[in-house]
Structure 1
Amino acid sequence: MAQVRIDSGRLIVEMEGLGRLWALRSRLAIPLDHVRGATVDPGMAREPKGIRAPGTQFPRFITAGTFYSKGERVFWDVRDASRVVVVELTDERYARLVLQVRDPRATVASIEHALQPR
């Protein structure tokens, strides 16, 4: 599972527990200018993941780490498909982040609120 927060104009994603080991990353920091949006998307967990490099995958149990699919690099940290949030990025190492969070709707609302022009 991932903790997602906004801090100093950045989207901060911190992997929790064994997710750090499985994803081979403990933290991502993305400038908000590079975040296009976020959606709740439980169906994303059923999509093909692509080539794992590096990461961990046990189908229907865990998908974590970096995956290459259709020429894009995607970061995954998912164990429970019902709590998936997809964050679309631009000009970043990853094209999108697919994350399991505690409260998907609140996470998306927080990200979308931070993206609104002030």
Structure 2
Amino acid sequence: MAELVRDGDELVLKLTTVEKMEGVHGDIRVPLASVQEVTVLNDVIHEVHGLKLPGSRLPGVFAMGTFVSPNETIFAIVHHQHKRGLRVRLRGASYDALVVGLDNPEEVAQSLGFL
């Protein structure tokens, strides 16, 4: 399962080997200064929209990879068992947002110092 962790002055989205293959991407590192907002999502899968480039997706079930829409580019890791998660809005990074399915989004956000 993907993890969001702090590493010095960076936020890191750590992916498992399978997630790296499904999302066609390695771990993502962004400066903490790029984080604009962290939001707890109660219906995380429906926050993933846009054209999948590259990655894996079954709409309404799972989404892993890069998703591009006219307004934003997001990187998502959402498994079918996760109904809830976090949206991390970014500025000045490769992605406009990270969307991550989590069992305990409030605890993760709090441990990162965002709540």
Shorter chain as denominator, the TM-score bin is 0.7 to 0.9
Distance 1:102 1:48, change over 3 A: closer
Q: Which contiguous aligned blocks of 4+ residues in structure 1 show a shift greater than 2 angstroms?
A: none
1:81-92 aligned at under 5 Å gives the runs 81-92=82-93
CA RMSD of aligned residues (A): 1.9
The equivalent of 1:45 in structure 2 is 45
Cα distance 1:106–1:48, how it changes in 2: closer, same or farther (>3 A)? closer
Correspondence list, 1:28-39, <5 A: 28-39=28-39
CA distance in 2: counterparts of 1:49 and 1:29, whole angstroms: 22
Higher relative contact order (CA 8 A, sep 6+): 1
Q: Which moved more, 1:75-84 or 1:6-15?
A: 75-84
Structure number with higher helix proportion: 1
Gap change, CA 1:45 and 1:69, over 3 Å in 2: same
Q: CA deviation at 1:12?
A: 0.9
Query: Where do 1:15-26 residues align within 5 Å?
Result: 15-26=15-26
Write out per-residue CA displacement over residues 20-48 of structure 1, whole angstroms, 9 at most, x where no aligned residue.
Answer: 11111130111000011212102242246
TM-score (norm 1): 0.85
Question: AA paired with 1:3?
Answer: E
> Is 1:27 equivalent to 2:8 in the alignment?
no
Give the SS at the match of 1:54: strand
Q: Which letter maps to 1:19?
A: E
Q: How many residue pairs are counted as aligned between the two chains?
A: 114
Matched-pair contact (CA < 8 Å) for 1:42–1:81? no
**Structure 1 gap segments, 5+ residues each:** none
| 1:104 equivalent in structure 2 | 105
Deviations 1:45-103 (A, max 9, x none): 22461111111111233101000112311101001342311111001110000002342
Change (3 A) 1:33 1:61: same
Asked if 1 retains the 8 angstrom alpha-carbon contact of 2:85 and 2:100, the reply is yes
